[in-house]
């Protein structure tokens, strides 16, 4: 085995003819697409277009806000009137339910305590706002609980 190894010709690794390429170590600057003046001009153009679009949008938003505010001012008294109307209807339902519930109790008069007015110093036609529980006394518990939850968290 050593004789075979000794008879084999050995070849040394040498550089290619003409030598190796030079190693690039110098800075290679990035390709420039725009000059500084072009970039400033582009910035100014984009800013001008953006400001114009903002102006148009701001005008539109202002117009819509004015329209929404006008609609709110127009419908607000109607909504207040409907709320008050429903409130009075519920008070009437409460009185009717009290009359139906207490019809078999002798001497009971609706809106009084056994014939004696609860609020003696107020005129008869004065509306006394009932307490929260009194207002929902004759409704189902689900409505009461929903409204109580809203009242507590708002």
Q: What is residue 17's three-state secondary structure?
A: coil
Q: Which residues contact 44 (CB under 8 A, 6 or more apart)?
A: none
Say if 38 falls within a structural domain: no
pLDDT of residue 14: 87
d(CA 62, CA 68): 10
Taking only the tens place, the pLDDT of each residue in 64-104 is 999 999 999 999 999 999 999 999 999 999 999 999 999 99
d(CA 148, CA 154): 10
Structural domain of 58 = 44-153
Say if 30 falls within a structural domain: no
Say if 58 falls within a structural domain: yes
Say if 78 falls within a structural domain: yes
Q: What is residue 12's three-state secondary structure?
A: coil
Say if 115 falls within a structural domain: yes
Q: Which residues contact 145 (CB under 8 A, 6 or more apart)?
A: none
Say if 75 falls within a structural domain: yes
pLDDT of residue 112: 84
Q: Is 132 within 8 Å of 148 (Cβ atoms)?
A: yes
Say if 1 falls within a structural domain: no
Of the listed ranges 9-18, 53-62, 142-151, the least confidently predicted one is 142-151
Total number of domains in the chain: 1
Say if 57 falls within a structural domain: yes
Query: Band of the pLDDT at 111, cuts 50, 70, 90?
Result: confident
């Amino acid at each position: 085995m050593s004789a075979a190894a000794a008879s084999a010709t050995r070849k040394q690794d040498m550089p290619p003819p003409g030598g190796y390429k030079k190693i690039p170590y110098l800075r290679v600057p990035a390709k420039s697409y725009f000059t500084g003046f072009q970039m400033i001009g582009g910035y100014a153009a984009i800013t001008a277009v953006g400001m114009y679009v903002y102006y148009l949008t701001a005008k539109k938003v202002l117009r819509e806000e004015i329209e929404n505010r006008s609609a709110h001012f127009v419908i607000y008294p109607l909504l207040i009137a409907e709320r008050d109307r429903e409130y009075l209807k519920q008070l009437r339902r409460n009185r009717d339910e009290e009359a139906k519930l207490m019809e078999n109790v002798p001497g009971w008069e609706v809106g009084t305590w056994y014939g004696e007015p609860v609020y003696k110093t107020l005129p008869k036609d004065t509306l006394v706002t009932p307490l929260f529980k009194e207002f929902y006394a004759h409704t189902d518990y689900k409505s009461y609980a929903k409204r109580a939850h809203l009242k507590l968290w708002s």
